Amino acid sequence: QQQVKQSPQSLIVQKGGIPIINCAYENTAFDYFPWYQQFPGKGPALLIAIRPDVSEKKEGRFTISFNKSAKQFSLHIMDSQPGDSATYFCAASWNNNDMRFGAGTRLTVKP
Amino acid sequence: DAGITQSPRHKVTETGTPVTLRCHQTENHRYMYWYRQDPGHGLRLIHYSYGVKDTDKGEVSDGYSVSRSKTEDFLLTLESATSSQTSVYFCAIGGASSTDTQYFGPGTRLTVL
């Protein structure tokens, strides 16, 4: 049973659009929610992360929105660019030894 | 890839043969992890280490063993490879706190025929 459910599986947007990727979790003990970006042939790289005491976090064009009561969090990419085309993974952990990942979203940004 | 190398990068082997994957770090991180990545499952933790000779099981540890004799090296062994272990394997390093970033290596693509 996947503890972190991610949607959609794939997403295609035009350059400048705002793709939104959603994740939901069950375990209320989770206290750290990172997003990873992965390019083909590479390992995942941390993009942005949030703690549950914050409802929103922005870093450049990337924003995490967090809804603790609904146990949901999402990634928004503002002014998306073709270079943002990658697979994005949400994750959740309650200690760094047990991080659970979503299944991933393949994002394509068309020029 | 944050001072992490994995070897080999690609391997094809046959069912029933032993396989060892190596992760080497130059960052002196205490924690090291092995994940497998499969379509539809994201990344799943196999084993992790919190120090030399200190290891523990993750979510999908059956069929795998690990060893860590030096801070910089973490080995993943498939004692008798099966086709269900065909996957991309990633090593990661990180700290003990839940907010410490995990840095991933470039991955090893393993095919078990």
Cα separation, A106 vs B1, in Å, equals: 21
Any domain includes B58:
yes
Mean pLDDT over each residue of chain A, to the nearest integer: 94
Q: Which pLDDT score, from 0 to 100, does residue A6 have?
A: 97
The mean per-residue pLDDT over the stretch B72-93 comes to: 97
Mutate to test the interface with A, among B34, B101, B102 (most CBs of A within 10 A): B102
The mean per-residue pLDDT over the stretch B75-82 comes to: 97
> Can you tell me whether residue B85 is helix, strand or coil?
helix
Cα separation, B104 vs B23, in Å, equals: 10
Cα separation, B2 vs A69, in Å, equals: 36
Measured in angstroms, the CA of A101 and the nearest CA of chain B are apart by 6
pLDDT in tens, B18-49: 999 999 999 989 999 999 999 888 999 999 99
Any domain includes B71:
yes
- Asked if the Cβ–Cβ distance from B98 to A31 is below 8 Å, we say yes
Any domain includes B35:
yes
- Please list every residue in chain A whose beta carbon sits closer than 8 Å to the beta carbon of residue B44: 101
Number of separate domains in chain B: 1
pLDDT of B12 strictly over 80: yes
Closest residue in chain B to residue A35, using alpha carbons only:
B101
Any domain includes B106:
no
* DSSP secondary structure of A75-106: EEETT--GGG-EEEEEEEESSTT-EEE---EE
- Please list every residue in chain B whose beta carbon sits closer than 8 Å to the beta carbon of residue A45: 103-104
- A92–B contact, CB cutoff 8 A: no
Range of the domain at B83: 4-99
Q: Does domain A4-95 have CATH number 3.40.50.2000?
A: no
The H-or-E segment that residue B87 falls in is: strand B87-94
Q: Which pLDDT score, from 0 to 100, does residue B41 have?
A: 87
pLDDT in tens, A19-29: 999 999 999 98
Q: Which pLDDT score, from 0 to 100, does residue A1 have?
A: 60
pLDDT in tens, A62-84: 999 999 999 999 999 999 999 99
CATH number of the domain where residue B73 is located: 2.60.40.10
Domain locations in chain A as residue ranges = 4-95
Q: Which pLDDT score, from 0 to 100, does residue B84 have?
A: 96
